[in-house]
């Protein structure tokens, strides 16, 4: 053994410990990042404009608005003017959610239509 060998072994051992520590930290970062990505996806889906609208549409507020709007429109489809029952009618976005996601909950951008007119616009509501 040379004079430097014990010191070299000590340095190698420290280096090995350091590298193992870095691998552990890297694995923890990967794990936490995966959890963060899952949470971000849940938040993104929750606030996705159509999902947000559908929650409102199915809420007591949304149902009450639709009923009032149906009456304001004299119980007629806003597009074809045909007489329609409230049940089964659709809430149509005048400016589509896909092009105007910020208007997803703006009732000034909504009208009640028959399913045929709404579906033919390509925006199911
Ligand atoms: Zn219609």
CA of residue 77 to ligand 1 center, whole Å? 5
The pLDDT value given to residue 15: 93
Residue ranges of the chain whose pLDDT lies below 70: 1-4, 123-125
CA of residue 89 to ligand 1 center, whole Å? 9
CA of residue 99 to ligand 1 center, whole Å? 22
CA of residue 72 to ligand 1 center, whole Å? 16
CA of residue 56 to ligand 1 center, whole Å? 22
Distance, in Å, from the CA atom of 99 to the CA atom of 54, rounded to the nearest integer, reads 17
CA of residue 87 to ligand 1 center, whole Å? 14
The pLDDT value given to residue 124: 46
Inter-residue long-range contacts of 102-110, CB under 8 Å, 24+ positions, other chains counted: 102/49, 104/49, 104/50, 104/52, 104/53, 105/52, 105/53, 105/56, 107/65, 107/69, 110/65, 110/69
Domains defined for the chain, CATH in brackets: 49-120 (3.40.1800.10)
Q: For residues 110 and 92, is the Cβ–Cβ distance under 8 A?
A: yes
Going 120 to 115 to 76 to 107, the CA torsion angle's sign is negative
CA of residue 52 to ligand 1 center, whole Å? 25
CA of residue 59 to ligand 1 center, whole Å? 24
Q: What is the DSSP string of 51-107?
A: HHHHHHHTSHHHHHHHHHHHHHTTTB-TTT--B--STT-EEEESS-TTT-GGGTT-G
pTM of the model: 0.73
Distance, in Å, from the CA atom of 116 to the CA atom of 78, rounded to the nearest integer, reads 12
Distances from the Cα of 30 to the Cα of 17, 18, 22, 24, angstroms: 20, 18, 12, 10
State the average pLDDT for the chain: 93
The pLDDT value given to residue 5: 76
The pLDDT value given to residue 121: 82
């Amino acid at each position: 053994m040379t004079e430097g060998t014990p010191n070299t072994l000590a340095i190698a051992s420290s280096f090995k410990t350091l590298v193992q520590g870095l691998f552990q930290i890297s694995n923890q970062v990967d794990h936490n990042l995966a959890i963060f990505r899952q949470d971000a996806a849940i938040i993104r889906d929750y606030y996705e404009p159509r999902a947000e609208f559908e929650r409102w549409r199915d809420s007591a507020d949304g149902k009450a608005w639709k009923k009032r709007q149906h009456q304001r429109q004299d119980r007629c489809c806003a597009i074809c003017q045909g007489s329609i029952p409230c049940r089964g009618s659709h809430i149509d976005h005048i400016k589509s959610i896909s092009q105007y996601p910020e208007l997803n909950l703006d009732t000034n951008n909504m009208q009640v239509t028959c399913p045929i007119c709404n579906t033919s616009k390509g925006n199911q509501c």
